[in-house]
Amino acid sequence: MAQTIIVVGGQWGDEGKGKIVDFLAEKADIVVRYAGGNNAGHTVIVGDKKFKFHLIPSGIVHENKLNIIGNGTVVDPEVLVSEIEDLERVGFKIDERRLVVSSSAHTILPKHREEDNPKKDVHARKIGTTGRGIGPCYRDKVARTGIRISEFIESDSEITRKIRPLVKDTCFIINEAIDQGKKVLFEGAQGTLLDIDHGTYPFVTSSNPTAGGALTGTGVGPTKIDSVIGVFKAYTTRVGAGPFPTELGTEDQTNAEGRWEDIEPVYKEALKEALEKANEGDEYFQGKYMRLMGKEYGTTTGRPRRTGWFDGVAARYAVMVNGMSAIAIMKLDVLQGLKKIKICKAYEVDGKITENFVLDTKKLWEVKPIYEEMPGWDGDISDARSLEDLPENAWNYLRRLEEISNAKIALVSVGPRRDQTIVIDDSVLF
């Protein structure tokens, strides 16, 4: 059993980390957010209630847990106060026993949001930023011209008065908790392929969402980490621009579908049509079926996500650079109904086959995925609570994902609720 666990996204974000953090947080004492800002979106479903968080750690819905926003994050004070007030409105008491913010975290200011506006900034529009001021804030941090939260709360306003009691030197709190034997869960945002150093640059975020970012983003040394859990969908998605080797259809086709508010009125009819055409072999509708089944629309932006088959080449890369102990496979239920399912096991680049991820982004645009095809399965698997409850073809698919990804599967999700989780290997969990 582990005492300290890092949860990290293995793809381009939106993998379902919020659910895994919520699942693991039941046994954790502290949940720490270590990178990114309110460009992240984590959805947690508890009973019949749905919570959407952009900045506060997902563990906040649990009683008697301390949630920490670490120094590696960038904090928009207005968003933080808004999320706190939303929680208070539904009955949560938010004080320093439940939520603290690192004094060393940097502050997103109105000027950062204005500069990051995709409607005004061509570069922001090109790379598909969320327009929340994340990049400009990190830039000022690195340029040593930023404002830390400790400095921001020196001014007097309604917002600073709300935040001030929560601001602490969190690196000491986290390390003391670990030394005392408490269970600490590190919550990632975005995903490996969006990492500023290891992702598909420049179509990346401005921080390090990889496991290494959990160390620098909290002030915890590497020898204090017991387990790294990588989170992957049973397929692949991407929001915004950038290369996507296994994409089904095109980015333009996806964007033309509209946001969830446009889709919802015709959802059932669209889903039925997508499944029929997907099983006839239409690649665009295969992607559309996954998008509709998985309700792949951004928590933060509402944008439709580009969809594609599971990219085993990218997964192996993510397992390697994060040193993943095990992986969690999310949304396996989204694939039900498809007659054939594909897994990308290699790339063809410049006429040659490679099993390594292509780090040159210009070349990644041009790679041809080499697929392995497997039979799909029919029937609803959302009630499965063990591998034995799954259809044989679903079980075989999971085994193949393990082999291609070079990592053992610890958890499988078959639905959005906390109880719709199959535990396969608990040795790397709390």
- pLDDT tens for residues 84-118? 999 999 899 999 999 999 999 999 999 999 998 87
At residue 419, does pLDDT exceed 80?
A: yes
User: 3-state DSSP call for residue 144?
Assistant: coil
Burial 245-282 (b: 16+ CB within 10 A, else e): bbbbbebeebeebeeeeebeeeeeebbeebbebbbeeb
Q: For residues 370 and 184, what is the distance between their CA atoms, to the nearest angstrom?
A: 40
Residue 322, Cβ neighbours under 10 Å: how many?
27
pLDDT at 301: 67
- Which of 14, 22, 116, 140 is the catalytic position? 14
State yes or no: is 54 an active-site residue. Answer: no
User: 3-state DSSP call for residue 371?
Assistant: strand
State yes or no: is 197 an active-site residue. Answer: no
Per-residue tokens: 188: 């990632």
β-strand partners of 386: none
* Average pLDDT rounded to a whole number, residues 272-283: 98
Taking the model in full, what pTM does it have? Answer: 0.94
**Helices 267-279/283-293 angle, 10° precision:** 140
Is the C-alpha dihedral spanning 179, 36, 41, 406 positive or negative?
negative
Locate tokens 């046994």: which residue? 27
In order of start, what are the domains of the chain with their CATH numbers?
Answer: 4-233 (3.40.440.10), 247-308 (no CATH)
At residue 162, does pLDDT exceed 90?
A: yes
Is the C-alpha dihedral spanning 296, 297, 300, 306 positive or negative?
positive
- Which one-letter DSSP state was computed for residue 247? B
* Average pLDDT rounded to a whole number, residues 334-345: 98
Per-residue tokens: 285: 């509708």
Element (H, E) at 97: none
pLDDT tens across 374-418, in order?
999 999 999 999 999 999 999 999 999 999 999 999 999 999 998
- Which of 42, 62, 112, 198 is the catalytic position? 42
Count how many residues are written for the chain: 430
Q: Could you tell me if 140 and 148 are in contact, meaning their C-beta atoms sit under 8 angstroms apart? A: no
Amino acid (1-letter code) at residue 72: G
